[in-house]
Amino acid sequence: MAMAAAEARLRQEKVKKFEDFVDRRLKPDLVNAIAQRDNLFQQQKTFLDLKKNIENLEKNGVTSMRSMVNLGSEVYMQAEVPDTRHIFVDIGLGFHVEFTWQEALQFISVREARLAR
């Protein structure tokens, strides 16, 4: 009987160690992985939206446009874009590059492939 109690106590200690490992190591890793996945999905959506917008501009032959721009804190201002044939794309680390529509589409394709990996 004492041996069965000792085995049960040993099993309980092992279960406690596994639970502690899950709580201290695996759950934070899971939260981190989910945050990284959500960030990746957001980047993919942003590039997909940009690609669709460029294709719409090309298809409709839009060379100038008016738009409402968010200045921050939900304050908007009307903006006029006299030439839409060149756009600036955020390439990361706070850098923006001026592209033609075709160059931007090529960059987006490369970036989408990289994000998919």
Tell me what pLDDT residue 3 has: 80
Tell me what pLDDT residue 48 has: 95
Tell me what pLDDT residue 6 has: 83
Give the DSSP per-residue string, the chain: -HHHHHHHHHHHHHHHHHHHHIIIIIHHHHHHHHHHHHHHHHHHHHHHHHHHHHHHHHHHT---EEEEEEEETTEEEEEEES--SEEEEEEETTEEEEEEHHHHHHHHHHHHHHHH-
Q: What is the domain partition of the chain in residue ranges?
A: 44-116
pTM given for the model: 0.72
**81 near 64, Cβ under 8 Å?**
yes
**Ranges in the chain, pLDDT < 50:** none
Fold classification of 44-116 (topology level): Helix Hairpins (1.10.287)
Tell me what pLDDT residue 8 has: 87
